Structure 1
Amino acid sequence: MAESFVLLDVADSLLGKLASYTYEEASQAYGVYEDLQGFKDTLSIVSGVLLDADHKKDQKHGLREWLKQIQNICYDAEDILDGFELQHKRNQVVKCGSTKMKVRHLFSSSNPLAFRLRMARKIKEIRGRLDKVVADGTKFGLASFDSGLIMQGREMTYPDVDASSVIGREIDKDEIIKLLMQPFPQRGDDGDQSICVISIVGIGGLGKTTLAKLIFNDKRMDDLFQLKMWVCVSDNFDIRQIIIKIINSATASFFTSASAPTSGLAYPENITNLDIVQLVSCMRQKLSGQKFLLVLDDVWNDDRAKWIELRDLIKVGPPGSKIVVTTRSKSIASMMGNVPSYVLEGLSPTDCLSLFVKWAFKEGKEENYPNLVEIGKEIVKKCQGVPLALRTLGSSLFSNFDLSKWEFVRDSEMWNLEQKEHDILPALKLSYDQMPSYLRQCFAYFSLYPKDHIFNTYVMCSLWIALGLVQSLNGSEKLEHVARNYIDELHSRSFLQDVDDFGSSCEFKIHDLIHDLALYVAREDFVAVDSHIQNIPPQARHLSVVENDSLDHYLFPKSKYLRSILFPIHGVGLASERVLDTWVSRYKYLRYLDLSDSSIKILPNSLTKLGHLRFLDLSRNDRIKRLPNSICKLLNLQVLLLSGCIELEELPKGIGKLISLRRLIVTTKQSTLPHDEFASLNHLQSLSFHDCDNLKLMFRQQLPSIEELHFESCGSLESLPLYIFPKLQTLFINDCQMLNMSLNNESPIQKLRMKYLMLMNYPGLLALPRWTVGIADTLETLLISDLPDLEMLPECLTTMFNLKRIYIHNCPQLLCLPSDMHHLTALEDLRIVDCPELCRKCLPQSGEYWPMISHIKGIFIEEPRGEAE
């Protein structure tokens, strides 16, 4: 039951907050410690019960309603807990304010005594609600379970396969067999000959196990290896059990081989009672002296120590033995493999159609139904090359010749179709179930975006942080860094594709089937609003609006539960100030409000009622001239985006009160900025200026919290003293042609901590500024684009031993690379585009620079036009 699993994540997140030092200290200060502890104890019991609810897969209506009640209580409790944080910030602002402000605070409902009484009443009320719901839950016969006891696992696999039933994997099979037939001269860290490990990696349902079976049963493997073993590892990487499986598989291989005796021998006695020393001895005896092939299928273990322990135990016998690993995780594939991983792609369109037809029709019968085959071609597109999805949809239509049924499958999202135990969504959900709780919560938010959407790390990380889904384990790591690690982990688990990593940020997409999985687990809490939506469930928590004509005022729920409203499509925005007034008055617990591309002229003062708001996007609102000063009372606000607000005359007065602000993007007509206000923003990490045509000067006093600085189309900007940003890591400058690029050209050149430098659209720049010497020790990404007069790269480039990425675009006068480029051993990605002479010199094999750049893992050189003719 997906809702109980998602609810478990919500409950676990709430328990984490209750256990934190911040809430414990606040609860004691306000005299509600005992009540919160009682609520926490009851919630802990509920978490175990939720696991049982998921385990039983009970679909009774009463149980579903019971789960919804618990979910509502958890969300209400989180709103109450966040009230502590908001009160603390109000007190901070009051302490720094005037006497008049302090007197006003004393007589307001926010003063400590009034707040204490109100919070105590709310906590007692919510604890009573939870106690009652837990008592009601006994009628469903649920018990408390330990999470480790019911983790859903995949069934054990076996090596047998009917090769004739497999379509489209001949090339993949041959490529891996070539790798298996090659010698492996690499030595391990201990100096011994290391065993070759080849990893096959890809999303669930792609056919990794089937491919491994084809390889395992190929006759060339019988000639190459004296012993073949198949072990399904699955989610429990228990070394003892794996050794037992290896021994049993080796024994079975012996008795089924052509050279095995036909009589006089029996299978060995049961080995499960042997201790680990005896098992290791038995296994080594089986493997010793024989060149073997071992397939470790379906590996989920990411504990490197466990893998090395197993690898060292089986590293016996003559050279040439090989291990093939199948896994859904890129990081596991990299950890286990010692040759480049084989990333399995989807089937070709032709093979997809052949496989679908094979499962949808009896052999040859498709010729009688050309109209259904045409619909089938459209159905195949939604499977995006994944064999299990093709089998799932083909099987669901087998021997069904009703046109309406085929059209229903074609037009429905995958998650709306009936799924059997071994179909595509259950297979993909296994990957979801195996994720840690914090990733499962974050993953569901992909459902708010349309298919084929290009995601940006900034947007997704800001959304997760605003909704409280990102927690720092040690309390000191920045939430943005933690959230970025979440992105990297999802990528490692094959949930992301087409990832374009620029270092400081990246863009990516998700597979259509992964999007369907997100819809499946998100259920009614997450709704993408379009013209087809007839009503929005009252319990919806997160909405995205993907079509302008779907903004019916009466469509939106009257409940107070909404936490986020998004407009994820550029050009789609809010046109009605009346609808905005309704939202502000109704949804007082909003954390995330995206009003980008709207045509609002005046923001209501009532916006200050959104005390929980953490993210406000007003980008590309070209009618707004002023923001209400009251917006500065949003003390929880972490992100404020004003890019493209081309009529905005100035920033609101009192912006320094936004003490939680972490990211600010500004478009304004101002020529100078309020220095003192910005100096108060102690948590501001990312500051950007877009289309600020009148802005001439930056600040003069230090802004020690700034880590990212962006300037785009600021045509009047003249100077930028870098020394006032001592923690600066990212600098992006695009189309700021009045800017003196010497910046801080003092001597000696100041050491900086910059990791990412991007310079774009700057005619007249002959060489990069001297201050780049000061970032030689730290720079990881260098991007230069549209510098038509640039003639040389700095000499210090070849001393940048941490440099991972170099992107050079449209620098036609740049003719050469530094001669010591081969010293950049950390360089992983080199892209050179629209630099005719330099591209010619860097061409693979033939270019004169190729020998000194060929070691780089990822190289993209756009061959000059006419070169290949």
Structure 2
Amino acid sequence: MELLDDAEEKQISKPAVRKWVDELKDAVYEADDLLDEIATKLCDRSWKLDISIRNFNSHPSLEVIGKEIMRKCQGLPLAVKSLGVSCDTKRGIGEWKKILKSNMWDLLNDDILPALKFSYHYLPSHLKQCFAYSAIFSKDYVFEKEELILLWMAEGFLVQPNEDMEMEEIGDEYFENLVSRSFFQRSSFHLSCFVMHDLVNDLAKFVSGDFCFRLEGDNSCKIPKRTRHLSYVKTEYDASRKNENIYEAQLLRTFLLAEWSCIDNKVMHDLLPRLRRLRVLSLAQNRSITELPYSIGNLKHLRYLNLSATSIIRLPEIVSTLYNLQTLILCQCKDLVELPSKLRRLINLCHLDIRETLLREMPSQMGKLTKLARLTDFFVKQNGGSSITELGKLQHLHGQLCIWNLQDVLDVRDAMETDLKGKKHLKELELRWNGDADCSLHEKDILEQLQPHTSLECLSIVGYGYSRFPDWVGDSSFSNIVSLKLGGCKHCCSLPPFGQLASLKDLSIREFDGVVAIGPEFYGSCVSMMRPFSSLQILRFEMMPQWREWISYVEDSGAFPLLQQLYIRECPNLTKALPSNLPSLTTLEIEGCQQLVASIPKSPSILRMKLKDDSRLLRLMKLSHGLYHFVVIGFHFLDSVLEEMEQMGGLFTALEEIEINNCDSLRCFPLELFCKLKTLRISRCPNLTSLFAPEADHADFTSLSSIEIRECPNLVSFSMGGLPIPNLTRLLLMGCSNTESFPGKMLLSSTLTSLKIWDFPNLQYLDYKGLQHLTSLRELEICKCLSFSPFQKGFALSLLRCLLCPLLEKSGNKRKGKIGPRFLTSPTWRLISRMSIDSVVNLMRRKKMRVRAKRLISLCSFILSAITIILFSLDFKLLDALFVYMYLLISPVIQKSVDLMSS
């Protein structure tokens, strides 16, 4: 491919050159495939013989040119940044003049920005093909760095400059180079993932030409003969001609089935025999795939096979003959129980991802996979499968590794042979026992020999059975560890000296039944000027039934200087002594610690606090002035706590969210104490009768915008003056069983946009006089109100949107939301009522429907209810589709009527 460099630079603007390059690429692909076939035959024969084998301002002379180029970029930051970085090394004024005067700025025959074309033009040839390959990703597709690197590796795009450099390192270098040029951008929603800007995606599609093709949406046209890389977005409603198009594309090297697309076993049986030149096959996230056809063995060029999140149970043995396979991804195959027994034959396998499967043992002789760089899980078994000693032969392991069933390691020497200490590229290690050990010294000896390299960053130990840990756990030499999780170590009676781990940021201790006290040993003997837990940001203690006391090593030792989040859950015997000073603490959650009597740690920056089932703690608490989110669950003395809050006066000026659950003692909530409150949630407080004190002044509640009250059956009023909160936009009331009319005398703010009333079994109607002033109301929901009738005289029809009966709800659930959201989530539709069939029948008996234009919406709703009753009584499973069709047919009529009456 290096021979095509010069031609690649000219093909954008010269169609003749582009055509010639395309034809030459065809020949290169053919030659590459032929070499593959020869290598495969040699490998096959060896197995039969049982052989193991910038910035313009810093250059004043360029400032004028730079400003003119920026003008040509039309002010788009993406174009400016991409062009600037791509040409950063070409500082000469002549080079920049050539860019400014290039006729590429005047090409208007497509929608590609010229600045982005320049960016691509200045890419090195090896990056050009890597970028062009990304054209198979649809717009808005979110991808991980490793995903794309493995695809590049499978296609042979990664050029290894020397044997000392791993392919993954090369791919990482390529990827970061493209990120620096803004071809890839970090996702706003998934920080570990990346996306392509739509304009960049268009560029990739343009420069890839026919070699990359996306079969998606209405694009069911014939696949070009030159297409080598295909992504396929298919739904269950697609016509079969899309499949037929793929059958004819027999020169494909890449076939990517988009996530959640639908393709079944039969299509796979028909398709794979035709695609013999595939290097990449991805069927990820397709639950319809339960097996691979035997013809998978014909894909001798296959390097990448992704079956993640499919329903496959086992791989056929023929997979072991795919000697070129580099990547095998089986994560989240929750039905997978077995790997091919001769997996050891895949001598080129580099990546094996088997997370979240039902696998419980490994094929024998895994140590022969000497190129294996990533192995997510290894299962130890006493009899059969691979011994743990096989791990010692896998010298190139990096990334993460979880070793299961360590209770089955009978010989300490086997653990020693794993040589984890020599695997310096391993970053995450999880060691798991089954937790049934009887405090045997043998387990300590095993863990002693499983000591990893000090470059390890994340360590997890689960189910370890001895009373103490070996010395290496918590040793200060592990200065790179940032995350440490220990769980299910039920016989352990003391904690290692984790305080001396200089880089530790996240520490979780769970299910340590034998720990009674945490004392000086936990902090360690920190040398020099380092304070204990100098980098720790998150600390969790959970399910420690015997833990009674937390003793600080030195009162003024300055431990936990950076701790931001502290969680203590289900420690019922913990009685006293939390750390007194946590200067950086922002979040505190204490749950299930009924005996705890202690002051809240002093912290000027605490923002969020959650306290659950703690009947005594709050009596001594002193809250931060900056607290904005406060959750209380299951307190028996909450009234006295609220009284203490009232006495503390102005401490709550910043409090924005309050959530109170399961507090029997709460009778009246002093809303007037919290002048900056924005959100209030109260649930399952059976004795709550009012939200305001009798003398409360409501004029200051300008910040309160959302109120949720659930399952408070005795709440009969908000105040004598109703609820005149000036900026309230959202009100949810649920489970008020004694209410018959709403809002009645209770006044609502005219700013209300969403009103939801759920589970009012005795609610018969809405007092429309209490609603008619709600000019901002956009959403009205009435759910599980069995006696409710929306057709009372004078009811505002503009509020009525849809009566949804149980059969439709059942139909939507059965299809897992594939049909229901199709119309229920439309911006012009709002769910108003889920009523039982009996309530619909009663409604029909009570009301005489009049067919007039002004009541057309009511008539349509009546028709839908009648259809539902008929279909439900017949109980024909296939007739629910007819109901959905009728609903879709009538819905526009309803909406048109609403619009006419609103105007």
- Higher CA-based Rg: 2
Larger relative helix fraction: 1
